[in-house]
A and B are shown apart, each in its own frame.
Chain A
Amino acid sequence: MQVIRRIIAIAIAKLLICLSRILGNQGTDFPGRVARIIDPDILKKLAANVQEEIYIITGTNGKTTTTNMIARILEEKGYFFVHNRAGANMVTGITTAFIKEANLWGNRPFEYALLETDEANVPLLLKELTPRVVLITNFFRDQLDRYGELDRIISLIKDAVRDTDIELVLNADDPLVVHFQNETGLHCWYYGFDDTDYDVFEGEESREGRFCAFCGEELQYERFHYAQLGKFQCLKCGSHNPRRNFTGHDLRMTPQIHFYVNNMEIYSPYLGFYNAYNILAAVSVAKLVGIQDDIVQRAIARYQPRAGRMEQFQIGDKKAIQILVKNPTGLNQTLAALNTDPASKSLFFALNDNAADGRDVSWIWDAQVENIAIPGAAIKGITCSGLRSGDAALRFKYAGFNEEIIMVESDLEAGIKSCLNIEAEVYYFLCTYTTLFASRKILSRLAGNKSSHKHKVNLAKPAAGGE
């Protein structure tokens, strides 16, 4: 009976996966949800087929890029693994990912599983499978309205890993992450950056980890890499950055990311400090898996940005770049990247307030939009779009932009066209989550791409692809 139940669950979910692909849907939660109704133990059973190790990647920012980079490394090595590629990072989406790779009997072995997991879903997932490693990238304020305060999420995850054999891979530069070791007593591996030429010495007002997690005293920072990530100590109780196992050093960010991890040289076509962190995290995990340096180096050098991660489109003679923004830290990093580009720009910002975006759009006021309201940023026009186009427009107006260059077109297609109508050298499309794929479809069509999946083909084995 159990076997039949499992087979039915897999068969129906596989059928639903096919159907949603034909319909061109991005959502991959639904098949997993249905399978779990038919067989509540389906994920437990399929996860038991992982022969080597399971890796969970969580944290506020960078988990998708980090997970995709690790996947690229495992592919380069030739491993067969499960990976929730489409960014469906709830337990249901992870179930879908397992079913996608499973055979009908549900007994096909996998070597590894690589699971990007929403922070609040980590405790749920740990009830059904046991990973070797949980990697935590960082904790920033993100879509607070979905789960309440950050403190609560952190303590939920702590409780879930306590008294297990799980190893933690932690960001040594994030004070909110590092106290996991003391609180859980687990074995921890730390990664972080040495001093870099890009560090700053003054903080911004909106930081998460301003206070010592052990004693509540305000932390003293010697330097910041970005946001609350940096070199800190607590004068009261003496807590400070832990000793690193994987150190990023000699970082250069122009014309592209170049640095070393424990003397291993790394090149990447990516931009921005946050991506340097993603690479460092991915390399750390690859070292724990035991993958050779040359394979890691090759995979990172060949890893190309995906949807929303600075993906480029050529529309006639116009260069368009699409970027996913979902919280103040991500938006700040994006704006910093825009500021390093001297070209004249037309900017598009689509802001939605659906559940996946976060119902509360006030986070745009926690970002330093003022930083790009300077002549050097060469911004010729700003088109605001989406369900909350008005809120977006006000943020730009009060950041100091002249009202006359701010356009409001709530409809995405009209907005994209309005943005492209402005005379500029490069067109930046900033999108929140639920505007990302719809905007990408429009951009792909305007670029004359027959398939909007063009950029994916050279990345993933076709069997594992599909979003």
Chain B
Amino acid sequence: MASFCIAHLYPDLMNLYGDRGNLICLQKRLEWYGHNCSVQSISLNSDIDYRTFDMIFMGGGSDREQGLVYQDLLRKADQLWKALDAGLPALLICGAYQLLGTHYESFDGKKLKGLGFFNLYTQGETERLIGNIVLACRLNNTVTTVVGFENHAGRTYLEDKSLESFGTVLAGFGNNGQDGHEGVRYKNLIGTYLHGPLLPKNPAVADFFINIMAARKGVNITTSLNDRLEDFAHQQIKRRVLGS
């Protein structure tokens, strides 16, 4: 039995639309696989060493809260980037995803700087992109559908064309409602607009993170879980959106 620890970044600021369900999901599944998983909340002005964690998670927040978080993250940006570049698993939703880019420009022209990890940026518009969304994603060389709910005013554009997106949009808007892509993928990082929360209804994505976390620790996960309810929920929303 191994012990895992996930850092939950700014839970008091960045937690919209049930995003903490992702952590509940990872914790429970790791338990069901026979391991331990704790979640440590990281708040503003706390000094952390990202290398001591098995994964980091951050959810979405409103504009005001995102500004506070940016200031704090900026202080540790180098260290965070090194950890991500070394393959630290990370799930970053909505506002947290936008912070990875070079900047966010609101609809009235105000520019907020991003961390600049990737050459992508977000343009705010007045009309929000809201609704159920279905993606096709490649995880461990298998194409699988991913379902969720998006609700964002920002349109994100991957300027660096060599950047990999999280998936292609089968139904819904995705990054910007135009180019058919959703989110960003880099090593073991996923940035995405998908709420829902993402992981409970997409056990393949949850297990993608779990397998990497385990492998990085030298732990082998051999058992498989009964995903009857997970698969049902996944199919139910897929049928509702794609109508097949």
- Taking CB atoms, residues of chain B closer than 8 Å to A395 are 21, 200
Chain B residue at minimal CB-CB distance from A147: B128
B residues bordering A, Cβ < 8 Å? Answer: 11-12, 15-21, 24-25, 28, 62, 64, 128, 130-132, 149, 151, 153, 195-197, 200-201, 226, 228-230, 232-237, 240
Number of A-B residue pairs, CB cutoff 8 Å, is 95
Q: Is A198 an interface residue (CB 8 A)?
A: no
CA distance A211 to B235 in the complex (A): 39
- Interface residues contributed by chain A, number (CB under 8 Å): 35
Query: Contact check: which of A145, A211, A393 meets B232 at CB < 8 Å?
Result: A393
Contact partner, B15, options A151, A206, A363, A364, Cβ 8 Å: A206
Q: Shortest distance in angstroms between B9's beta carbon and chain A's nearest beta carbon?
A: 13
- How near does chain B come to A82, taking the closest CB pair, in angstroms? 34
Q: How long is the Cα–Cα vector from A388 to B236 in the complex, in angstroms?
A: 7
Residue-wise interface mask of A (382-417) relative to B, using a CB-CB cutoff of 8 A (1 in contact, 0 not) = 000001111101110111100100101010000000
- Distance A391 CA – B21 CA, assembled complex (angstroms): 11
Q: Nearest Cβ distance between residue B112 and chain A, in whole angstroms? A: 16
18 A/B residue pairs, CB under 8 Å, sorted by A: A148-B128, A360-B195, A362-B18, A362-B19, A363-B18, A364-B18, A365-B21, A365-B200, A390-B229, A390-B235, A390-B237, A393-B229, A395-B21, A398-B21, A399-B24, A403-B226, A403-B229, A408-B229
Complex CA distance for A400 and B15, rounded to whole angstroms: 21
Q: Name the residue on B nearest A400 (C-beta).
A: B28
Contacts A360-B17, A403-B229 given: A398-B25 contact, CB under 8 Å?
A: yes
In the complex, what distance in Å separates the CA atom of A150 from the CA atom of B156? Answer: 23
A269 is an interface residue with CB less than 8 A from chain B: no
Contacts A144-B17, A408-B232: A365 and B237 contacting too (C-beta < 8 A)?
Answer: no
Residue of A nearest to B231 (CB): A390
A341 within 8 A of B: no
Docked Cα-Cα span, A410 to B154, in Å, equals: 35
Which B residue's beta carbon lies closest to that of A389? B236
A399 to B18, CA, bound (A): 13
Known: A390-B201, A403-B228. 10 other contacts (CB 8 A): A144-B151, A151-B62, A359-B132, A360-B151, A365-B19, A365-B20, A365-B24, A366-B17, A387-B240, A403-B226
A210 interface contact, C-beta 8 A: yes
A361 to B232, CA, bound (A): 16
Question: Is A149 positioned at the interface, with any CB of B under 8 Å from its CB?
Answer: yes
Q: Does A205 contact B (CB under 8 A)?
A: yes
Partner of B234 from the list A149, A366, A390, A408 (CB cut-off 8 Å) is A390
A218 to B64, CA, bound (A): 13
Q: Mark A353-393, 1 if CB is under 8 A from B, else 0.
A: 00000011111111000000000000000000001111101
- Tell me whether A362 and B229 are in contact in the complex, defined as CB-CB below 8 angstroms, given that A144-B151, A145-B130 are known contacts: no
Q: Which residue of B lies closest to A408 (CB)?
A: B232
Smallest distance from the beta carbon of B31 to chain A beta carbons, Å? 10
Chain A: CB-nearest residue to B44:
A218
Chain B's nearest CB lies how many Å from the CB of A353?
A: 8
List of 8 A-B pairs having minimum Cβ-Cβ separation, nearest first:
A390-B233, A365-B18, A362-B18, A365-B21, A390-B236, A362-B17, A394-B200, A390-B232
Inter-chain CA distance A151–B16, complex, in Å, is 13
A27 at the interface (CB under 8 A from B): no
A395 to B20, CA, bound (A): 12
List B contacts of A363 (CB < 8 A): 17-18
Distance (whole angstroms) from the CB of A213 to the closest CB of chain B: 11
Report Cα–Cα, A210/B132, bound state, in Å. 29
Report yes or no: B128 in contact with A398, Cβ–Cβ below 8 A: no
The interface centre, meaning the residue of A360, A388, A410 with most chain B CB atoms within 10 A of its CB, is: A360
Complex formed: what's the CA distance from A363 to B151 in Å?
A: 13
Alpha-carbon separation in the docked complex, A153 to B232 (Å): 36
Give the complex CA separation of A360 and B147 in angstroms: 12
In-complex Cβ contact of A394 among B64, B132, B233 (8 A): B233
Among A389, A398, A403, A406, the one with the most B-chain Cβ atoms within 10 Å of its Cβ is A398
Least CB distance, A389 to chain B, in whole angstroms: 7
Smallest beta-carbon distance B39→chain A, Å: 11
